[in-house]
Amino acid sequence: MKLVTAIIKPFKMDDVRAALSDIGIQGITVTEVKGFGRQRGHTELYRGAEYVVDFLPKLKLEIAVGDEQVESTIEAIIDAANTGKIGDGKIFVSAMEQVIRIRTGETGEDAI
């Protein structure tokens, strides 16, 4: 089992959700986050004063998948979230030792 964590631009969320749904992903956790990478933020003008916006709004998606779904999940996210411009985001894949569904007590891939 793997935990796929993706950081994407907020306006791409609907496309990514649809792409994941199409490949059979049933659960996803979404968190609003702020950050920057190579983008380094940008400068804005407000009431005549210029200021730097260091942290840009992003969405963090966390998807628990079985080992056989990892590659298709990654491909679906890349295809749906790609704009070809800087700041499209990143995908991290990490191993999960155990998953437990609280309601039923199911464990492992049955709990995903």
Q: How far apart are CA 36 and CA 29, in angstroms?
A: 21
Inter-residue contact 73 to 63 (CB < 8 Å): yes
Annotated domain spans of the chain? 2-111
Instruction: Report the largest interatomic distance among the alpha carbons of the chain, rounded to a whole angstrom.
Output: 58
3-state secondary structure of 21: helix
Share of the chain above pLDDT 90, in %: 72
* pLDDT tens figures, 59-73: 999 999 999 999 999
Q: Is the pLDDT of residue 47 over 70?
A: yes
Q: Give me the residue label for tokens 């003008």.
A: 45
| CATH number of the 2-111 domain | 3.30.70.120
Inter-residue contact 69 to 25 (CB < 8 Å): yes
Nearest to 64 by CA among 34, 89, 29: 29
pLDDT, position 56: 84
pTM here?
0.85
